[in-house]
Amino acid sequence: MQPRLVKTADCRTLAVQTFGDPAGRPVFLLHGTPGSKVGPTPRSTVLYHLGVHLIAFDRPGYGGSDRLRGRQVASAAADVRAIADEFGLERFAVVGRSGGGPHALACGALLPGRVHRVAALVSLAPRDAEGLDWYAGMTASNVRAYRAAERDHQRIAATMEQRARRIRDDPATLIADLRRELSGTDRAVVSDAGIRRLLQSNYREAFRQNADGWIDDVLAFTTDWGFKAQDVTAATWLWHGADDMFSPVDHSRWLAAHIPDATLFLEPGAAHFSSFRVLTAALKWAAGSPT
């Protein structure tokens, strides 16, 4: 299926893909980092059963979407609003997994009256989160990348561009690189041949043009998000695997303590990629009727 191209107010193009029941309740799915609109989703039969019209799009700089230089996490809200306006959607829910989590929270904070529910799975917390040791429990590769982004934007961009070219040529290399730091639970998830195929397609599309989206995500996470957790007014469903080392579990604990209407589910023995299994439940909750 060809993506639908949506123009933003500042004349950028966003590449959008829809899944499931076109007449169902609209739910935006915001992909991970790195990722794209073709990232892992429940099968269409599952989405039809849930009555969900799932809307995914490439964040700026990924896949078929134009880059937005200097974007903040908050910028996602304007892009979601542009797509919702194009589709004629007044009320909708937003679900974000991993790197999509902070962007989903931005929608819950900055689109009041339109976003009625937000689910964030294995999300990061803001870099300036008071009282949170942001790097505690985080895998070494992520610590290196985020600390490098804080020190030298240009150098980390060059490094990530080089790595993205390698992944685009052979997406299996990213999974192989990750394997060295995966918990036993996560290793079992990515050992599934179907999941590996989905991830490889996802990464290939993410880096179809370059590494701009990946670079801008990392920079956005390590600078001011453009909103506060306390600004999220939508009902919020947080889920985190207790053994996650890519987005440490204390990040969701911090979010739960600061988002006014948040419910936190911590799953013992689960880790980062266990969020694929939870996605159906998150969508089912998100698609609940608006109040």
pLDDT 10s digits, 55-95: 999 999 999 999 999 999 999 999 999 999 999 999 999 99
| 187, 179 contact by CB (below 8 A) | yes
Q: Per-residue pLDDT averaged across 89-114, rounded?
A: 98
Strand pairing report for 235-241 and 52-57: unpaired
pLDDT at 68: 98
- In Å, how far are 234, 237, 247 from 85, measured between CA atoms? 19, 25, 32
Residue from 112, 106, 95 nearest 30 by CA: 95
**What single DSSP character describes residue 38?**
T
pLDDT tens per residue, range 7-43? 999 999 999 999 999 999 999 999 999 999 999 999 9
Extents of the domains making up the chain: 4-286
pLDDT tens per residue, range 148-160? 999 988 788 888 9
Q: Which percentage of the chain shows pLDDT scores above 70?
A: 99
pLDDT tens per residue, range 166-217? 888 888 887 787 778 888 899 899 888 898 889 999 999 999 999 999 999 9
Class of domain 4-286: alpha beta
Whether residue 289 is predicted with pLDDT greater than 70 in this model: the reply is: no
Half-sphere exposure at residue 29, Cβ-oriented, CA atoms within 13 angstroms? 29
Q: Per-residue pLDDT averaged across 130-147, rounded?
A: 95
Bridge partners, 62 (sequence order): none
Whether residue 283 is predicted with pLDDT greater than 90 in this model: the reply is: yes
Q: Which percentage of the chain shows pLDDT scores above 90?
A: 81
Report the distance separating Cα 139 and Cα 273, nearest Å.
14
pLDDT at 157: 87
Report the distance separating Cα 199 and Cα 280, nearest Å.
17
Report the distance separating Cα 198 and Cα 76, nearest Å.
24
pLDDT at 291: 53
Which stretches does DSSP call E strand in 22-104?
Answer: 25-30, 52-57, 92-97
Report the distance separating Cα 237 and Cα 239, nearest Å.
7
| 119, 286 contact by CB (below 8 A) | yes
Sorted by sequence, the CB contacts under 8 Å of residue 250 that are 6+ apart come out as 125, 132, 133, 136, 137
pLDDT at 261: 97
DSSP 152-168: -HHHHHHHHHHHHHHHH
List the structure tokens of 157. Answer: 């961009």
Residue from 131, 130, 147 nearest 139 by CA: 147
